[in-house]
């Protein structure tokens, strides 16, 4: 290949690369996002939990686990309370252990891995035909979910999460 042919080929290649880059930028008029480096300080958080299925509840556990890791499971500064009052309640029934064992092992392990607590609405549990003695021992049964969430926010300074 001659010098001139090589030069024409390289010029055409550069043109096509530049055109492709411009086309990509035109398709991305706002550019690309950048990751923010933020150090989060541990907080007191209450999760208002009312989900309908295992997948949704597993997603809640994912979020709580990630937050607990982000807070470095600091038992002095952080507190994460999940107040349960939806269709996830039967997962915590002693009778349903064989059906939901993996999910319950995961939930219980969060209480061992850091400042995570599960509190269940007694009114909602009764709606599912369950009493405190029917629920796994790592759960605290409170009189009413709404009242507990309000108490945690107003009296103890918890931040609300849904």
* 8 Å CB contact between 47 and 64: yes
Q: How far apart are the first and last CA of the chain?
A: 68
Q: Are strands 159-161 and 116-121 parallel, antiparallel or unpaired?
A: unpaired
Percent of the chain having pLDDT more than 70? 85
* Tens of pLDDT, residues 2-37: 756 665 556 656 665 555 556 566 678 888 999 999
Say what the pLDDT of residue 73 is. Answer: 86
- The answer to whether residue 160 scores a pLDDT higher than 60 is yes
What are the extents of the domains in the chain? 1-35, 44-161
Residue 1's pLDDT is what?
A: 66
Sheet holding 159-161, edge to edge: 139-142, 116-121, 79-84, 44-49, 159-161
Cα 19–chain centre separation: 42
Does pLDDT of 75 surpass 90?
no
Domain 44-161, classified CATH 3.40.1260.10, yes or no: yes
Residue of 47, 55, 156 whose CA lies nearest to 110: 47
Question: Where residue 153 falls among pLDDT bands split at 50, 70, 90?
Answer: very high
Banded pLDDT at 60 (limits 50, 70, 90): very high
Q: DSSP string covering the chain, please?
A: --HHHHHHHHHHHHHHHHHHHHHHHHH-TT---------PPP-EEEEEE--SSHHHHHHHHHHHHHHHHHTTT-TTT-EEEEEE-STTGGGGBGGGHHHHHHHHHHHHHHHHSSSEEEEEEHHHHHHTT--GGGB-TTEEEES-HHHHHHHHHHHH-PEEE-
User: Exposed/middle/buried for 52, CB within 10 Å: 0-12, 13-18, 19+?
Assistant: exposed
* Cβ atoms of residues 162 and 50 within 8 Å: no
Q: What value does the mean pLDDT of the chain take?
A: 90
Residue 121 pLDDT exceeds 70: yes
Average pLDDT in the 112-123 region?
Answer: 94
Position 130 scores a pLDDT of 98
pLDDT surpasses 80 at 70: yes
What integer pLDDT is reported at residue 29 of this predicted model?
87
- pTM higher than 0.85 for the full model? no
Name the one residue in this structure whose structure tokens are 């530049």.
Answer: 18
């Amino acid at each position: 290949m001659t010098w001139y042919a090589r030069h024409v080929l390289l010029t055409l290649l550069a043109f096509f690369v530049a055109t492709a880059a411009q086309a990509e930028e035109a398709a991305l008029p706002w550019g690309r996002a950048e990751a923010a480096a933020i150090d989060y300080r541990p907080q007191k958080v209450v999760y208002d939990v009312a989900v309908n299925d295992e997948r949704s509840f597993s997603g809640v556990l994912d979020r709580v686990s990630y937050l607990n890791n982000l807070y470095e499971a600091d038992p002095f500064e952080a507190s994460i309370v999940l107040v349960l009052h939806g269709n996830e309640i039967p997962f915590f029934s002693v009778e349903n252990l064989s059906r939901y064992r993996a999910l319950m092992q995961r939930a219980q392990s969060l209480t061992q891995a850091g400042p995570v607590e599960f509190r269940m609405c007694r009114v909602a549990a009764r709606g599912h035909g369950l009493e405190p003695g029917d629920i796994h021992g790592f759960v605290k049964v409170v009189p009413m979910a709404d009242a507990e969430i309000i108490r945690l926010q107003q009296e103890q300074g918890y931040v609300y999460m849904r």
